[in-house]
Amino acid sequence: MTETAWTTDTADTPEPHNREAEMAVLGSMLLDRRVIEPIAAILAGPQDFLPLNHQTIYRTICDLYAASRDPKIDPITVAAALLASGELTKIGGAVYLHQLVQAVPTTANGEYYADIVREHAQLRAVLAATRRATYQAMTAAASAAEILDTAMADLQAAAGGVSQADNRLAVADRWMEFIDELEAGADPRALDTPWHDLNDVIELKPGQLVTVGAATGGGKSLLGMNLAAHVALTRGKPVLVASMEMGGSELMARLTAAEAGITLDKLVRRKLDDSDWQKVFKAAPRLQNADNFILDDSPNLTLGKIRARMRWMTSRGTAPAMVVADYLQLMTPESGKSDRTRANEVAELSRGLKLLAMEFEVPVIALAQFNRGAAGRQPVVTDFKDSSAIEQDSNIIVLMHRPLAEDGTDTGPRAGEIDLIIAKNRNGASGRTIALTFQGHYARLRSMGREF
């Protein structure tokens, strides 16, 4: 790196920048170590400073502060650290550190100075995102969907200060965090289901892709809505349901049937008697305040649209704790390439949902349909329609099966039941079968025993 790259002169730099505020932040940190933590909580990292010498000084102060329980931070100790790393001359020498101290009107305003620095860093990030998107659009370097998705990710990162450099990736960094998790016992981020027997086998954790498969009319949408309602209404956590099979009115009819205990047929036909209306009014407080329960029935839903909806929820303070996609094979691929097979497209969608789960650190519940050949028998993981990639991408696979009579009717010794077959459980036992009560007329599944 050349000496000129470390210059403190940014007069010729057209980027948003407040040199005085940056100097005041660094000077405050050199004068009073008590402001270091509050300032570090505001800034995303050294990259929030524009001149490279300011980045180096900030990083050195933070390193010294983190290296000791009783850190000694002042121009002399920081100069010694910079001299040891061979960077003292590059940042302007010890003289420049004293200039930073002299630039501070009062350390009491350290956090205010940091807010100014952060504001300008965000403006630079916005400019960088728009320039990148403009270049890609002008040169057709990517598809419109890909450009929009990248631009939204860049802008979201600018808003939240997200930086890959901020991640603590080393085992040394992760070790104590892992020990804390072990001591805490149950994962506080894990979600349960409304079915206690199922909770004995699986739990829904951040980053997981959980695929629920069923034949046409086999109850996968019903399970997805029951699970979403449990997490959103009972546990009070934000949930996104991306529905490609049913519109908003149909989704609300199913939700109301399950919550109020009114037969779905009455709600669909709008044939309610006085008793039904009483049930509606009883369920109303629980549903009319469900601002955290988002039902997105937008047409032609893609991975990019689902990601954008998740970012929108995050921006309004209700970051989703779980996402339900109903259902996988109905999603619209974004590539737009005519030479791709349907199996390629479904594989791309499956992998995309897994990446969404990891990116937003939430469980994604992907509902998926079986091939026609699965009808009339107990399903297996190879029955998924259009792609075998679903099995590879999923952390957990649940296969739904109605044990109907030989003539295909819901009669016989197991009438009114449905089986959940745990075909894959990456971090737990697989091969278990959980029997639930199937109450299709109320659009709900119930545990055989007690309920939550």
Query: Hey, where are the domains in the chain?
Result: 3-122, 196-447
Helix ranges (DSSP H) in 383-432: 389-393
Residue 225 identity (one-letter amino acid) = M
Q: How far apart are CA 358 and CA 115, in angstroms?
A: 30
- The predicted model gives 158-168 an average pLDDT of 53
- pLDDT tops 90 at residue 298: no
Distance between CA 373 and CA 258 in Å, rounded? 31
Q: What is the mean pLDDT of the chain?
A: 84
Number of residues that this document lists for the chain: 452
Look at the domain 196-447 and name its fold: Rossmann fold (3.40.50)
**Model confidence, pTM:** 0.64
pLDDT at 349: 87
What gap in Å lies between CA 272 and CA 276, rounded to an integer? 5
- Which of 230-234, 238-242, 433-437, 445-449 has the weakest average pLDDT? 445-449
pLDDT at 117: 95
In this predicted model, which residue has the larger pLDDT, 436 or 10?
436
Beta bridge partners of 293: 239
Q: What is the DSSP letter of 339?
A: T
Q: Residue holding tokens 């399903």? A: 379
Among 19, 307, 284, smallest CA distance to 153 is for: 307
- Quick one: fold of 3-122? DNAb Helicase; Chain A (1.10.860)
Here the tokens at position 276 are 């039904």
**What tens digit of pLDDT does each residue of 417-452 get?**
889 999 999 888 788 899 998 888 899 899 885 443
Asked if residue 336 has pLDDT above 80, the reply is no
Residue 159 has pLDDT above 80, yes or no: no
- Residue 172's CB is within 10 A of a number of other CB atoms, namely 8
Expressed in angstroms, the distance from the first to the final Cα of the chain is 62
Are the C-beta atoms of 119 and 42 separated by less than 8 Å? Answer: no
Tokens representing residue 404 in the block = 């109907």
Q: Say yes or no: do domains 3-122 and 196-447 share a fold.
A: no
Whether the per-residue pLDDT at 202 is higher than 50: the answer is: yes
- 32 vs 140, higher pLDDT: 32
- Nearest 5 degrees, angle CA 328-CA 329-CA 331? 70
Max Cα distance, the chain (Å) = 91
* pLDDT score of 211 more than 90: yes
Poorest-pLDDT segment among 64-78, 285-299, 330-344: 330-344
What is the Cα–Cα distance from 18 to 121, expressed in whole angstroms?
A: 10
Note if the bond before 442 is cis, omega within 30 degrees.
no
What token pair was written down for 413? 């010794």
How many alpha carbons fall within 13 Å on the CB side of residue 53? 22
Average pLDDT over residues 383-393: 77
Q: pLDDT > 70: what percent of the chain?
A: 89
Confidence band of 28 (pLDDT split at 50, 70, 90) = very high
Answer for the pair 45, 165: CB distance below 8 angstroms, yes or no: yes
CA–CA gap between residue 147 and residue 149 (Å, rounded): 5
Residue 3 vs residue 196, higher pLDDT: 196
